[in-house]
């Protein structure tokens, strides 16, 4: 069987269906949330779109109140089912785009749109993989379910609901990372570190007043923009502006300053990256804070700036908090501060999105963080926690996926680990499997996100073969 030719023959139809999915702005939207669309209208529309495609293909379709849905194929009487899990929600749009993010555009062999690689392109690839298996009439011993989630980028409520309502799969994979096979995922800790009001009301007088500071929009992205509004007498504002230009020039940073009569707005441009790889980005908020901490501030602003700088600047491995660790399977602990905010009359905090290796324990890590925060008189909100996940190489699914990958690529499939939190970790025998090949650029969560069309076809071929193999495993 030439699986790639099967995918290639469906290229036009696949791109047509993918464009329709990418055109749906499926960003979490509480303003339009309601019955049947708990994540908002756009997300619910994307789920209905995919389930309608599956129903038209003759798959058995279930929609659990707009939060999670699935399409099933294979013998209904089969005891076991194999899961392929993808998500239809996308992160908010940020940065400058060549073409509108929800108007899919094909340029130079790539399809550009928010969600193209994370995770709508792979979701469509898995659908066409199952479509190929069905149209070829291949025999299946087990059922297969394409499971579509709607809250992967936030809290994974969709998977929690699925686990409440449905039996667990025998095994499965998510096309939401990279090839060859990711059998280990780091644990996660997500929380906000709050500065009590009393700290901002300190009777400290300085040359400058921090009116507001903001950086980042979502916790699992490295902030690509930051803005500080500062008040002072005009001559001190001019001195601050001159110093800022010198700081940016000396450190090759992209900053700007806009001065009015009594205030100045300092802006910093960074580089966005996924929160699981903060070392690949440049945190605009931390770069701006590192400059501002050198000056004299009214109230608690100096405490905020110095504390954030001490705990986070130029330290994505948690050394300043005393939580750095590493193992051979899953690598080092990483920490990203995706949202930073100072508001004298509102909430002042920084958010941490922490990924820790399999050797770690979140109780121990939280204890160390709490001890460090006590020194700085800070408070930690109740955290969202995720345990590390690991599937041993001896599992028959791993062997089947390794054989599939070798047959389709000619390359050996080594087991990898990731700092990302995929749907695979919700099931005991779940792994991440593609779609990116080693060395490929990932534009997930970034402006001008894209999926290479050749990658779309190659991954579809691999998934079709994998579905055929997994649905006939001896379990």
Q: At what angle do helices 11-22 and 121-135 cross, to 10 degrees?
A: 140
Give backbone dihedrals phi and psi of 332, rounded to 5 degrees, phi first.
Answer: -85, 155
CA torsion sign for 444, 446, 450, 452 is: negative
Q: Exactly one of 89, 153, 185, 309 is catalytic; which is it?
A: 89
In three-state secondary structure terms, 219 is coil
Cα–Cα–Cα angle for 165, 166, 169, nearest 5°?
A: 155
| 263 in Cβ contact with 237 (< 8 Å) | yes
| 423 in Cβ contact with 149 (< 8 Å) | yes
| 357 in Cβ contact with 388 (< 8 Å) | yes
- Tokens 């705990």 -> residue: 311
Q: How far apart are CA 457 and CA 4, in angstroms?
A: 7
Q: How far apart are CA 459 and CA 119, in angstroms?
A: 13
> Tokens for 347?
């909430």
Q: Exactly one of 151, 152, 224, 408 is catalytic; which is it?
A: 152
Q: How far apart are CA 8 and CA 461, in angstroms?
A: 9
Q: How far apart are CA 230 and CA 91, in angstroms?
A: 30
Q: How far apart are CA 142 and CA 466, in angstroms?
A: 13
Query: What is the per-residue burial (b if ≥16 Cβ within 10 Å, else e) of 299-331?
Result: bbbbbbbbbbbebbbebbbbebbebbbebeebb
Q: CA-CA distances (angstroms) from residue 167 to 170, 198, 360, 374?
A: 9, 50, 29, 44
178 is catalytic: no
Q: How far apart are CA 259 and CA 238, in angstroms?
A: 8
SS (H, E, C) 100-133: CCCCCEEECCEEECCCHHHHHHHHHHHHHHHHHH
Give backbone dihedrals phi and psi of 121, rounded to 5 degrees, phi first.
Answer: -60, -50
160 is catalytic: no
The residues, ordered by sequence, that sit 6+ positions from 260 with a Cβ below 8 Å of its Cβ are none
DSSP secondary structure of 258-307: EE-SSEEEEEEE-B--BTT-GGGSB-HHHHHHHHHTTS-BSTTHHHHHHH
Residue 425 DSSP symbol: G
Active site residues: 89, 152
């Amino acid at each position: 069987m030439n699986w790639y030719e099967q995918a290639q023959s469906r290229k036009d139809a696949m791109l047509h269906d993918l464009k329709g999915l990418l055109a749906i702005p499926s960003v979490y939207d509480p303003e339009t949330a309601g019955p049947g669309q708990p994540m908002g209208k756009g997300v619910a529309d994307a789920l209905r779109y995919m389930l309608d495609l599956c129903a038209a293909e003759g798959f058995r379709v279930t929609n659990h109140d707009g939060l999670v849905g699935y399409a099933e194929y294979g013998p209904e009487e089969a005891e076991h089912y194999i899961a392929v899990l993808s998500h239809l929600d996308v992160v908010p749009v940020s940065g400058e785009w060549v073409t509108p993010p929800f108007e899919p555009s094909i340029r130079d062999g790539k399809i550009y749109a928010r969600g193209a690689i994370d995770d709508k392109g792979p979701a469509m690839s898995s659908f066409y993989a199952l479509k190929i298996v069905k149209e070829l009439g291949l025999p299946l011993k087990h059922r297969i379910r394409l499971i579509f989630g709607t809250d992967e980028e936030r809290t994974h409520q969709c998977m929690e609901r699925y686990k409440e309502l449905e039996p667990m799969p025998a095994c499965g994979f998510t096309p939401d990372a990279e090839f060859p096979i990711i059998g280990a995922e780091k644990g996660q800790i997500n929380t906000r570190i709050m500065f009590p009001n009393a700290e901002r009301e300190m009777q400290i007088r300085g040359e400058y007043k921090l009116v507001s500071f903001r950086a980042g929009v979502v916790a699992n992205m490295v902030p690509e923009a930051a803005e500080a509004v500062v008040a002072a007498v005009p001559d001190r504002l001019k001195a601050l502006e001159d110093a800022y230009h010198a700081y940016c020039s000396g450190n090759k940073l992209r900053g700007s300053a806009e001065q009015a009569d009594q205030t100045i707005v300092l802006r910093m441009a960074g580089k966005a990256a996924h929160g699981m790889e903060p070392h690949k980005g440049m945190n605009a908020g931390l770069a701006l804070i590192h400059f501002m901490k050198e000056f004299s501030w009214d109230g608690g602003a100096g405490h905020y700036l110095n504390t954030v700088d001490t705990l986070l600047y130029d330290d994505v491995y948690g050394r300043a908090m005393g939580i750095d660790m590493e193992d051979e399977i899953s690598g080092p602990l990483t920490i990203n501060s995706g949202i930073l905010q100072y508001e004298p009359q509102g909430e002042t905090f920084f958010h941490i999105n922490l990924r820790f290796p399999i050797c770690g324990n979140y109780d121990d890590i939280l204890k160390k963080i709490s001890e460090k925060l006590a020194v700085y008189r800070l408070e930690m909100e109740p955290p969202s926690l995720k345990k590390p996940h690991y599937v041993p190489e001896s599992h028959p699914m791993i062997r089947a996926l390794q054989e599939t990958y070798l047959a389709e690529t000619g390359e050996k499939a080594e087991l990898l680990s990731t700092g990302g939190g995929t749907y695979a970790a919700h099931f005991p025998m779940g792994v991440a499997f593609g779609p990116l090949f080693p060395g490929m650029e990932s534009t997930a969560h970034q402006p001008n996100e894209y999926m290479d069309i050749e990658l779309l076809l190659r991954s579809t071929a691999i998934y079709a073969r994998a579905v055929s193999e997994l649905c006939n495993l001896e379990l």
